[in-house]
Structure 1
Amino acid sequence: MVRVWLSRLPLLADALGRAHAPAHDQHSFAASITELIDARNRDEVWLALSVLTGRFPTESLVLKTARDSEFDPHALFAAVRSETTRESASWRVVVEREKTLVDVGDTSASTLATGIQRVVREVAKRWAAMDDVRFVGWTQQWQSLRDLEALELARVERGIARDGEEDPAHADVVVVPWQTSYILLEVSAEPPRSDRTRAMARFSGCHTTALCYDLIPVTSSETSSPGMTGVFAHYMAALKYFDRLSTISKATAVEYLGWREMLPAAGLIGPDIIPVLLPASVGESDDAAIAGARDRLIIGEVPLILVVGSHEPRKNHLAILQAAEILWREGHEFSLSFIGSRSWRGDEYHDRIRQLQDQGRPVESVTHAGDSLLWAAYRVARFTVFPSLNEGFGLPVAESLSVGTPVVTSNFGSTAEIAETGGALLVDPRDDDDLTAAMRTLLTDDDVLLRLQIEARSRPRTSWDDYAESLWRALQQG
């Protein structure tokens, strides 16, 4: 361990812009860091622990070490000695002081393609062309930031999800941010990661920013997965020390502004909050893709109603199935296709799908659909339905409207915000009759359908290129 500490000591001194006394053994090393570091300065303690151990300290460790140093000049060395592991001693450590570190740890190692992963990938592959960006992930057990593996970086830069087995998280290069910029581009869903990020935001001297998607685990906790509310609390505890947050809608900004209003009770000001709306954009569909979607999803000449979104209670899919059964019993002919991944607490939804299929109803749940099928599905559907109970943005609403396909969606929050410029029927998602009536209207009233199609096609167009540029400007420049 001593050899490792000695090799990292010049790196620490260089980051601080100070000379250090020569050291060749444990005793002289302890003396050197005692002279080099002002152990009462918590920022310097954070940096010293991160560089010398290769592991980012928690807030409590930084505070304890700084306080103990008031009475014990060797407290910092004791903390370095206890926190260095054989694993962390094998890593190469670098201090980043110039480039912006963009944290994509989950997305670069995930098989998921949910809304968050899609946003991260669309933004990251555009930022990858910028010279002043360095993408990072985390070591195993969320101990410290690290450079991405080549395959992970390629996935981020190409904006594609992983195929096949997951790669091991090798920590060849640990990256310590010091007085530079750090962007958390995804939700930190792991408490150890959030806890270390909190200390980094508080003590590293970095300009820390994040892209925030929603506050659903707080405002609609009954629809979240078990334990998510507690996990989310760790994430929010880190964000309170950040400098700036960008939200994906004005509605989400309202939620975060409400959260920030509470922070003065804890003696904190909280971050700036700037909404930057996600774009309304989907990929192109050629004739072959359209034909393939028709063959896959269309039954005879009956119209297709499309529902896009993961199968979880918040998406309100049971209400859609209830409305569909009422309409089928009234004699209306249509097929209903759900496209989205499986998620938590979806058993009742899947059971209901099977019951309706056993009764001969034309309904299906597609859990594995590539982008080509999804983009074409939006275009061949008569209309889409998205009556979510709470949504940070509602990409399926924006995507459907971007190709001119009308939407039935919720009359509040971000979905109502998206629908302001036309193309949608707004409903109370908690009122089954209201939802049924809107679906009935778009099935039977061609004049209303045409009016909404015209409105949707007249909406202003936005792109992921525009969004990535606007987000960078909001986070880095204000």
Structure 2
Amino acid sequence: MNPPIRRLLIDITHTASQDYHTGIQRVVRSLARESLAYSANPETKIECFPVIHIDGRFVHVDRWCAARGYSKSGRSWAAFCQDLVPNWVGTANRLKLNRLGTRIRKLLYPRTIDRFARKVIQRLRPPHVAVNPGTGDVILMPDSWWDLPELFEAIQSAQQNGAIVGAMVHDLIPIRFPEFFDGGMRTKFTPWMQRLVRTVDFILGDAQAGEDDLWRFIQEENAPIERHNVSHVRLGCDIGPVRQVDISKVPGNIRRLFAEREKAPYLMVSTIEVRKNHHYLLDAFELLWQEGVDVSLALVGRVGWKCDDLVARISNHPEVGKRLHFLDNVNDDALNYIYQRSKGFLFSSKAEGFGLPIVEAQHHGLHVFASDIPIFREVAGSGAQFFSLDDPSHLQRQIVAFENEQGWESKPSITVENEPWKAVFPKLVDVVAHLAGNLLEARSASASRAA
């Protein structure tokens, strides 16, 4: 039986025009990469490929963009040429060179050569190939495109031509917890989501918890999307095997700090920001130190935003450099070394879209202590321990018990399997095809009743 769709177009417009490497961009680039690998299979019935929106139309992503890892493709071609061809003509005019200087410039680099060189370079890159989405096509919007309102007009035009449009929304944290963000993000994201749920045909989350929250938001907004058109696909995790560390690239202070497992610190890896809730960890460890429990805490990550009070608390803490350690410039080898030698992993975040650091910690064989929020229970499974964010003494008691049992000597129980993107992408295609089939059946039934 043939699928209800013939092409799945994955919009990567925002990611392809930037050079960011945040969580959403990593997801989008993984989808772009796997879509082409999926379509390379001759038995595939649905053609999948990434697209970008440029000059008022959706176009194929060319090999130049793919070769750069799907970044900076939206840069103007004129700017690219400017880098390759020296603009001596313009420079001479700006500097108002004297007549002799102008003659020398014309002799060495006449305008005809300048124009010819630019034309040759432009011809090296093939023109954009339009996609023209219509009947039989699905456009999936997984990117962070709240800064690109023109895409609403593009997808509505595609819908008028018969295409189905779905969005992949990774979390609603700017709406549920606006205090974690600056005013710019709050004023953009909420109106974007309100318009989104009134425009797209279906919507996907990253996990069951995300799907449930999206459905609550749709109900709150009284949007026209029906419950069976809301689903989720669990994100892939391409972590790879635990690799051998090049010890020469691990700074001496880190080697000394994590030299012995039983004396190593507990670890948290995340940006220093209010949402990650580092204050809670400090409160819990201060309780431990007051009781005479000799444990230490290592915070790994760069300083983020709205966290001046937290940075001051860490910097001025009496245990800093003794049993409290802040490591803000850690290379990959050092981070792997830390993961492999920490006593346990802590994640006290108040809200997350997925929680990949938990997966990474379990992958490295660490016991996980995480805040008791729905997404962490789904991602970490029953093998982790969960603490209440209402009371730091809850985590304190868990660590005391873990210390008494020397829990780091045993392997953690991992009850949730995290699959690579290669295995996840076909599941995404199946979910999208199922949703598209339901939508097409509903449209056909509606048309029959109208007739």
Give the TM-score, by structure 1 length: 0.67
Contiguous gaps of at least 5 residues in structure 2: 40-46, 79-126, 436-451
Cα distance change on mapping 1:415 and 1:359 into 2, 3 Å = closer
Q: Hey, what does 1:71 align to over in structure 2?
A: none
Q: Hey, what does 1:20 align to over in structure 2?
A: none
Q: Hey, what does 2:18 align to over in structure 1?
A: 110
- In 2: Cα distance, 1:418 partner to 1:327 partner: 28
Q: Hey, what does 1:134 align to over in structure 2?
A: 49
Q: Hey, what does 1:246 align to over in structure 2?
A: 204
Cα distance change on mapping 1:454 and 1:436 into 2, 3 Å = closer
Question: Which runs of structure 2 are paired with 1:153-168 in the superposition (5 Å)?
Answer: 153-156=66-69, 168=75
Identity %: 23
Q: Which residue identity lines up with residue 338 of structure 1 in the other structure? A: L
SS at match of 1:348: helix
The answer to whether structure 1 residue 429 and structure 2 residue 344 are counterparts is: no
Higher deviation after alignment, 325-334 or 216-225: 325-334
Q: CA deviation at 1:412?
A: 2.2
Question: Which runs of structure 2 are paired with 1:358-397 in the superposition (5 Å)?
Answer: 359-367=320-328, 369=330, 371=332, 373-397=334-358
Q: CA deviation at 1:321?
A: 2.9
Higher deviation after alignment, 356-365 or 306-315: 356-365
Counterpart of 2:65 (choices 134, 152, 175) is 152
- In 2: Cα distance, 1:195 partner to 1:114 partner: 23
- Equivalent residues of 1:124, 1:156 under 8 A apart: no
Q: Hey, what does 1:28 align to over in structure 2?
A: none
Counterpart of 2:214 (choices 230, 252, 256) is 256
Q: Which residue identity lines up with residue 126 of structure 1 in the other structure? A: E
Cα distance change on mapping 1:438 and 1:189 into 2, 3 Å = farther
User: What's the CA shift string for 1:290-335, capped at 9, x where partnerless?
Assistant: 7855856341433132212223211112222333344345554455
- Equivalent residues of 1:384, 1:406 under 8 A apart: yes
Q: CA deviation at 1:402?
A: 2.8
Q: CA deviation at 1:398?
A: 2.0
Q: CA deviation at 1:176?
A: 4.2
- Equivalent residues of 2:143, 2:168 under 8 A apart: yes
Cα distance change on mapping 1:357 and 1:120 into 2, 3 Å = farther
User: What's the CA shift string for 1:56-108, capped at 9, x where partnerless?
Assistant: xxxxxxxxxxxxxxxxxxxxxxxxxxxxxxxxxxxxxxxxx964321112323
Cα distance change on mapping 1:288 and 1:370 into 2, 3 Å = closer
Counterpart of 1:212 (choices 146, 169, 181) is 169
Superposition RMSD in Å: 3.4
Q: CA deviation at 1:473?
A: 1.8
Q: Hey, what does 2:149 align to over in structure 1?
A: 192
SS at match of 2:26: helix
Give the TM-score, by structure 2 length: 0.70
Q: CA deviation at 1:394?
A: 0.9
Counterpart of 1:472 (choices 410, 424, 429) is 429
Q: Which residue identity lines up with residue 396 of structure 2 in the other structure? A: T
- In 1: Cα distance, 2:349 partner to 2:34 partner: 30
Larger RCO, structure (CA 8 Å, separation 6 or more): 2
Q: Which residue identity lines up with residue 133 of structure 2 in the other structure? A: P
The answer to whether structure 1 residue 177 and structure 2 residue 133 are counterparts is: yes
Work out the number of aligned pairs and report it: 369
Cα distance change on mapping 1:267 and 1:208 into 2, 3 Å = closer
- Equivalent residues of 1:103, 1:182 under 8 A apart: yes
Contiguous gaps of at least 5 residues in structure 1: 1-96
Higher deviation after alignment, 468-477 or 212-221: 468-477
Counterpart of 1:347 (choices 304, 308, 311) is 308
- In 1: Cα distance, 2:74 partner to 2:34 partner: 24
Cα distance change on mapping 1:251 and 1:266 into 2, 3 Å = closer
Runs (4+) of structure 1 exceeding 6 A deviation are none
The answer to whether structure 1 residue 327 and structure 2 residue 240 are counterparts is: no
Q: CA deviation at 1:407?
A: 1.1
- Equivalent residues of 2:54, 2:74 under 8 A apart: no
Q: CA deviation at 1:207?
A: 1.4
SS at match of 1:232: helix
- Equivalent residues of 1:245, 1:272 under 8 A apart: yes
SS at match of 1:121: helix
Counterpart of 2:241 (choices 281, 284, 295) is 284
- In 2: Cα distance, 1:460 partner to 1:267 partner: 35
- Equivalent residues of 1:323, 1:432 under 8 A apart: yes
User: What's the CA shift string for 1:400-458, capped at 9, x where partnerless?
Assistant: 12332111111121002223331x1101124222233334444x23344456x3313x6
User: What's the CA shift string for 1:88-144, capped at 9, x where partnerless?
Assistant: xxxxxxxxx96432111232343332222222223322222243233223448xx65
Question: Which runs of structure 2 are paired with 1:69-80 in the superposition (5 Å)?
Answer: none
- In 1: Cα distance, 2:254 partner to 2:309 partner: 23
Q: Which residue identity lines up with residue 177 of structure 2 in the other structure? A: S
Cα distance change on mapping 1:227 and 1:447 into 2, 3 Å = same
- In 1: Cα distance, 2:299 partner to 2:73 partner: 28
Q: CA deviation at 1:362?
A: 5.0
